[in-house]
Structure 1
Amino acid sequence: MMSVKNFTYNLLFLILLGSCISPPDNFPSVPEVAFKGMEFVSTNSSDSLIVSITFKDAEGDLGLNATDVDPPFNALEFKRDNTGALILYGKRPSEAPQFNPIDWAVNPTVNNIVVRDTVWVEQNQNHNNIFVKFFIKRNGVFSEFRWENPPFYTTFNGRFPRILNNNNTQAVEGTIRYSMLSFGWQSLFRNDTIRIDVQIQDRALNKSNIVSSPEVTLSQISRR
């Protein structure tokens, strides 16, 4: 069984300018990223696929801490019926999906009250700030490998922590190393050619450009 929910983050960044100085003209208000590298690290426990991107941002409002869970950074949106009531699994309408850990939450907290039931939900994309898409090459054509689909029902989207620990506006640039842990990388992709697309989002909900890795196999990027 693949373990795909564990993420680690290593950040290296450089604050370029103080808040009282205008950032360089080439520093964007919308974050800008570029691909830097990717490597695969195999261990006796979970393996790690690490992607590195560089970033620039004029305001420095990048990153989310664990306490950043109020809207618009809440994890879930709760679906309701036409009376405003939560939709429970035992009384789900015909159009509702079967149980899976993306569309249903077990005993969630709603308005500070724990609901002892299984509730129909929608994942809030703004809860995360780094978005990763996987593509696999078959017969010379790339197609997206969607982790959200069965049997995985998960995602490699996640969070990196705040670059600045205050609310000051400062231009920043640096490197984000985003490590995705799993026991099943090699058994799943074997010798396949894959590509990864990465995008980040600032706290004003501005999405960066999308950057793509080269076309690689795991053996080509394995750390020796």
Structure 2
Amino acid sequence: MKNLLKYAAGAFILALALSSCREEPNYSDVPAITFDRIEQYTYTANKITRDTLIIAVDFQDGDGNLGLDRIGPDGTQSGPDFEPPFNPGSQYFYNFFAIPQVKRGNTYTSLPEINGRFPKLSMDGKPEPLEGEIRYTITSFSTDAYPFADTIRFEVYIYDRDLNKSNVVYTDDIVLYQGL
């Protein structure tokens, strides 16, 4: 029994030492994204069919400076994440860009982009490598605005707080209003 405790303690210390040697990943400070999936939820209310779409992209970022506050500390659009270059009307006000593209034959035609903000992913503000998934929900597809069951895809990219643009990815094709 005495030997068992001695060896168990030694094994624990060795495991602890080896786990503390884990190297941090070495990602670029420019965010990189990969398309993961697009989820489609279709429902009808008051004779209008609507699609809610969720675009999921995986990301890697070397300094972890992803995300912007959606609202300032005082409950309004104030604070550092609403001052230039992130001020309303600026091209950097949004940090998630999804450009719907309608498929016509073998070509795609872009529609007006659907942009939004995803929140800060590192709360302590320290530069550190981050990886994970961003899920962005789009609820604006309805038969009153988009009357046809079109095949669409999205061109997607993000910006970090240093204004670095990620690579561009494309979602899989989906057919609107087919989830019923």
TM-score per shorter chain, which class?
Answer: 0.7 to 0.9
Give the equivalent residue in structure 1 for 2:98.
Answer: 132
SS at match of 1:75: coil
- For 2:115 and 2:130, locate their aligned partners in 1 and report how far apart those are by CA, in whole Å: 23
Give the equivalent residue in structure 2 for 1:73.
Answer: 86
Identify, as 1 or 2, the structure richer in helix.
2
| Shift, 1:191, TM fit | 2.6
TM-score by length of 1: 0.59
- For 1:64 and 1:208, locate their aligned partners in 2 and report how far apart those are by CA, in whole Å: 15
SS at match of 1:206: coil
**Equivalent of 1:55 in 55, 59, 67:** 59
Confirm or deny that 1:176 pairs with 2:180.
Answer: no
- For 2:31 and 2:143, locate their aligned partners in 1 and report how far apart those are by CA, in whole Å: 30
One-letter code of the match for 2:170? S
Confirm or deny that 1:28 pairs with 2:28.
Answer: yes
| Shift, 1:142, TM fit | 1.1
| Shift, 1:130, TM fit | 0.5
- For 2:143 and 2:121, locate their aligned partners in 1 and report how far apart those are by CA, in whole Å: 29
One-letter code of the match for 1:131? F
Residues 1:189 and 1:141: Cα distance change in structure 2 (over 3 Å): farther
**Equivalent of 1:198 in 151, 156, 162:** 156
Structure 2 residue ranges without an equivalent (≥5): 1-21, 73-80
Confirm or deny that 1:141 pairs with 2:99.
Answer: no
Higher relative contact order (CA 8 A, sep 6+): 1
SS at match of 2:118: coil
Percent of paired sites with the same residue: 36
Note the alpha carbon deviations across 1:131-187, whole angstroms, 9 max, x for none.
111111123321111x2xxxxxxx511100000112201111111110011261586
- For 1:191 and 1:47, locate their aligned partners in 2 and report how far apart those are by CA, in whole Å: 11
Runs of at least 4 residues of structure 1 off by over 4 A? none
